[in-house]
Structures are given as C-alpha cells and as structure tokens.
Structure 1
Amino acid sequence: MAKSPFLESIRSEIRLRGYSIRTEKTYIHWVKRFIFFHQKRHPESMGAEEVKSFLTSLAVQGNVAINTQKTALNALAFLYNQALNRPLGDLGFQYASKPRNLPHVLNKYEVGKILAALEGKYRLIFSILYGSGLRISECLRLRVMDIDLERCCLTVRNGKGNKDRQTILPRSVVNELSVAIDEAIKIQKTDNKQGIGPSLPFALDRKYPNAFREPAWMFIFPSSSHCSHPISGKICRHHLHDSVPRKQLKTAVGKAGIFKKRVNCHTFRHSFATQLLLDGRDIRTVQELLGHKDVNTTQIYTHVVGQYYAGTSSPLDLL
C-alpha cells in the first residue's frame, strides 16, 4: 500500500521532536481519523472549526471518555501548531461528558493468587508491575542499566510525557531479577556473534557503533525473535511485545478464580497506588512514584480507597 506523503511528513515532524514510537502511532491514528471524518479533505484546507466539530462529535456521537478526547486534541494540536505552523487558538469545544471511571483494584490476597498462577518471567513481570507501580510498556522497556539491585530501585526512562523517574524495586524480586538479567545478557552475547544487538534509541547506534555489545543496553525481557528497527530498518532484538504477558495474565486470572473484577496489566499499577495509600503513604509520595505530573491525577486513588477500604461502619450496622 502506497504511503501518504502528507502523513509521512507528519511522522518526520514527530520524530524530529523526539516523541516515542507509541506517541507517533497514536498521533498518526488521530490525524487519519480527523481526515476521514471530513471526507478526506486535506488538513491545510481546514482549521479550528473543523477540529472543533470533530472533537465535539467524539463527545456527543462517539460518547468517548475525556482522556480519549484529550488525546485526539493533543494529536491535532501538534498537527496544526507544530507541523503546519497554524496555531488553532482557543477552540471552545464541548468536552466529553463521560467521566473517567474509578479503576478496578486488587487486594493483596488477590494479587498473590494471580502471581501464584503465573510462572517464570511472567510472574516476575507482574511482580514488578505491582511492586513498583509500572505501566506494562515501562516494564518491558527496562534495560540492564535501569536496575539498581543494591539500592533496590529502578529508573523508568522516557515514560509517559517523555519523562524519566525513579521508583522502588521490591527486595523480594532481586534474586529472580538478577537471574533474568544474566539470561538476557547470554542472549545478547549470542546475538552479537551475528552482529545483532538490542534495538537502540534513534541515532545512538551511529554515535556509539558498539553500544549494542554493551550489557547495559540489553532489554531484561527480550523478544523471542529478531525484527527490523521501526526507524532505521536495522535487524535487532526488541523487547517482549505486550500482547504476550497480556495473554498469560488472562489465563492466570481464570486460574485464580477472580471473575468479579476486570483485571488487566494496568490493574497492578492501580493496586500498587491504592495499597500504598492504605499503608499510610502520603499522596505526594505516591504521585512521585507513579510519575504523575499533576496530583489531581493521583487523587482518584483516594476515591478508590474511600469507596472500598475506608473501614467506615454503615449506620444500619449500628442499629
């Protein structure tokens, strides 16, 4: 299928500004939807009114959540403000009325049952999600250099918002994680004999041609096969795709007999935050560990705690 020269130019602008591949895919997706919504009109022939009508349609006809609408807005703001250099200004459109739902969380016993139903690297992955509060993408992107086993902390690089942060590493996974690191380095050494190594950030392999041989750059959870780098096209070994642990989780949840809650990878991050609040940690600490820019984002977990775990007696039970 022929590539659109216009979309490829937008892709180039996104990469020029150092956005992640995930953000690139998201922005291109929303630009495409915007174009098709307006019967394939070129964005240069449209402006603020067309953007406003598209976003309003998402809220009114599409009934999307606020966060979905904001993601679309960010993509179109980049398109006009950055790529086309035609600032949109104040749109004044209708925000989505569908609020963000309170997340489902697991108590520590439920987490334990699910982890017991997992094996090997998958148990380690979900242990880190719950023990460190990571997103699944952040966990799978971890490299050897990001782990400090002595200080029991890890560094998340280029997280959401293109920010780095440090968070805690559970002492209970240190031994298992150390074994996983050794196994990953063995895979790297085998790959190196073929002139192949882990996928590296854009242009780093040109600046440091032998970086792919350094253990520090190896993914702790490497994929089972080689692939082409999405930007350079160079053959490399990427990290494990998130669809693999998701499938393992679905099976483990069934084995654990947890059917009354919607459980996905992000549930472990929600449960991490909720458990910290239950243990008496202040909300600013939780905010820092999660990497939230605004404490209001973290505030949702206080509502979860208040709804499910506050321990307040019902007036009826006092009769």
Structure 2
Amino acid sequence: MEYARKPAAISNESVVRRHPRLLEEVRRRLRVKHYSLRTEQAYLYWIRRYIHANGKRHPREMGGKQVEAFLTQLATRDRVSASTQNQALSALLFLYREVLAQDLPWMENVVRAKRSPRLPVVLSRAETRALLAALSGREALQAGLLYGSGLRLMECLRLRIKDVDLARNEITVREGKGRKDRRTVLPGSLRAALRVQIDQVRVLHLRDLEAGFGAVSLPAALARKYPNAEKELAWQYVFPAMRRAVDPLDGREKRHHLDAGVLQRAVRSAARLAGIDKPVSPHTLRHCFATHLLEAGADIRTVQELLGHKDVATTQIYTHVLNRGAGGVLSPLDR
C-alpha cells in the first residue's frame, strides 16, 4: 500500500470530532505496524468517509451490510476504479480486524473488485531520448534514474546518499513496494551528475546543521537505536526538499525529500515539448526500462529482480512489445 494515491480531504470535520479516540487508535495501530504515512492518510480518509456515509454511526454498530453497501456505492455512483475500491476495502478490514478486534464472518460475502489487465504505455527509444532531452537539471537526473535504474517515483525521491554506490555502479532500494529491499543498476552516464547532486546536498546539510537543524526522518526504530544517525550526511535524501517542514510523526522540523508533484509536472511538460502524443508520467520511464532491456535480450528473471517484482508474471506484461508479441507478427495486408 506504499504507493496509494493521496485522496482529497473530507470537508465535514464533525466525523473527526465525534470519533476522535477511534481515529487516533487507528493512527496508533498503523504506526505500530510501520505502515507508511501515505497509507495512513489514505486509510484514515476512507474510514472517515465510511462513517460519514452511514450517518456518523460508530463502526462497531455496523457490519457487512454497511460495508458492502459502501463499496457498491463507490463503484456505481462514484465510479471509482477497482484499485481505489480495493484500497477502501483494505482500510475497513484494518479498522475491524486490527482496531476493533472483531470477527468478520460477514466479510466472506464482500468481493474485491477485479482489476482489468491493462497494457502499460511504453515509449520508443527515440521518444525516450526526446523526453529526457527536454528535461534539465535535477529533474533530468531523476528521470534518468527512473529510466536507467527502473526505480519507482517514490523510490527515487526516498533515495538516501548511503544507498548510492558510485564505485560499483549500484543503487540499493530500501523498503520498496511490499517493504522489500533490492539492488539495481546505476547508469554510468549519471555518475558525474549524482556526484554534483550529492555535493549540493552536503552544502545544504551543513547549512542546516549550522542553523540548529539537519535532522532527517529515519525508518522504524532506527532513530532510537542510532540517535546521531538522523544528522549524518549518509542518511540525508539525495533529492531533499527546498524548505524544511514539520515531521507529522514527531512534530520536529526536518528536511524531507522533494514532493512527487515536482517531477510529475516536469515530465508532463517535457512530453509536450518533445511532441509525444501519449499519456506520459514518471512511471512510464520504469515501463520503458523493462521493455527496452527485454528488447535488448536481457533475461526476464534478471529484469524481474531489477524491478523488484514478486512474480515473473508481472514482468511478462512487458513482452507485449517484443518480437514474439503482436509487434513481431506480419499483417496479412503487408504480405
């Protein structure tokens, strides 16, 4: 759930005022289980919306009938996608199982929406070169990592200096999707730009330390285990935010990573400048990484490991552009 889309806020705050202890307990349980902040925000949103949709009744007074009606309403009236509906269901399952500790025999009748298989948007090599050429500076480096290393957007933004090995041309992704670590290739053509970026982070970090700040958020309990690590250069983000901000987990002012919207907007603008008439996002570059590697003859198991896919079947979707797919068939009209 690490990469859940951040939903819009509910305007009716009476739900929060009426059930403050319940929502605080949900937040506490999420943090005990080390769920990401984005997942926490999404789960709280769906729980508030579920309570509001049922006249602000306490979830303990409701059950399968109300959950099924809520999910059906999302699909029929609000026309949400299958992934969004499943996210709402996961939030309610967490509420009843982990917070209210209720037995859920009625959940057997609640069916998860089935996601329709969709082929990813993939750019040609020429289109990819044009897209990258239309970017500059920090955004060009980030896009280069997405395409050259197969990183997800948030994996790139959460990359820390200690996980970039310039000597071995290797990047270590920590707690990627499914909370799994993996190693992937670091393009040699980006080494010089990464050195410059890390030097800039070093200067920014020294300024923060001189101003009495310089801390960064650490995963899980590392802040207690290594109390000085949060101010070490090795733990700083490779792409830090321009301004410090208050950490919602402990209320301290820290230097976080860049917001995802910065690169998303830059890639959309670059696609327009490059004249690419396809729906392009930063994640498109990860699709291009996998497809272009397979086109070049890379082993599909190797690509699976670089991408961090749990099942090779997920990686096989990229074979739709290879010669053994539809693109390798000669149309009878051309014969």
TM-score, normalization by structure 2: 0.87
In structure 2, the partner of 1:208 is: 226
- Superposition pairs of residues 1-319 of structure 1, within 5 angstroms: 4-89=20-105, 90-96=107-113, 99-201=116-218, 202-258=220-276, 260-303=277-320, 305=322, 310-318=327-335
Letter in 1 for 2:283: H
Deviation at 1:188, TM superposition (A): 0.8
Q: Deviations over 1:114-153 (max 9, x none)?
A: 1111111110000001111111111011010111112211
Matches of 1:163 and 1:150, distance apart in 2: 24
Matches of 1:112 and 1:198, distance apart in 2: 37
Letter in 2 for 1:82: E
Q: Which 5+ residue runs of structure 1 have no aligned equivalent?
A: none
- More displaced stretch, 152-161 vs 85-94: 85-94
Matches of 1:57 and 1:290, distance apart in 2: 36
Q: Which 5+ residue runs of structure 2 have no aligned equivalent?
A: 1-12
Deviation at 1:308, TM superposition (A): 7.8
Deviation at 1:69, TM superposition (A): 2.5
Matches of 1:16 and 1:148, distance apart in 2: 32
Matches of 2:80 and 2:304, distance apart in 1: 26
Deviation at 1:251, TM superposition (A): 1.8
Kindly tell me the number of residue pairs found equivalent between the two proteins.
317
* 1:315 counterpart SS class: coil
Q: Deviations over 1:194-224 (max 9, x none)?
A: 2212422255434433223311111110111
Matches of 2:128 and 2:82, distance apart in 1: 29
Deviation at 1:189, TM superposition (A): 1.2
Deviation at 1:305, TM superposition (A): 4.4
* 1:128 counterpart SS class: helix
Matches of 1:306 and 1:85, distance apart in 2: 53
Letter in 2 for 1:155: T
Matches of 1:60 and 1:298, distance apart in 2: 32
Contact 2:321 2:327 in 1 (8 A): no
Deviation at 1:228, TM superposition (A): 0.5
Contact 2:216 2:231 in 1 (8 A): no
Matches of 1:197 and 1:54, distance apart in 2: 45
Matches of 2:244 and 2:149, distance apart in 1: 29
User: Percent identity, aligned pairs only?
Assistant: 47
Matches of 2:81 and 2:323, distance apart in 1: 23
Matches of 1:26 and 1:294, distance apart in 2: 26
Contact 1:199 1:229 in 2 (8 A): no
Matches of 1:303 and 1:34, distance apart in 2: 40
- Decide whether aligned partners of structure 1 residues 208 and 94 sit closer, same or farther in structure 2, where only a CA change above 3 A counts: closer
* 1:310 counterpart SS class: helix
Letter in 2 for 1:236: K
Matches of 2:227 and 2:123, distance apart in 1: 45
RMSD over equivalenced CA pairs, Å: 2.2
Deviation at 1:250, TM superposition (A): 2.0
Contact 2:205 2:233 in 1 (8 A): yes
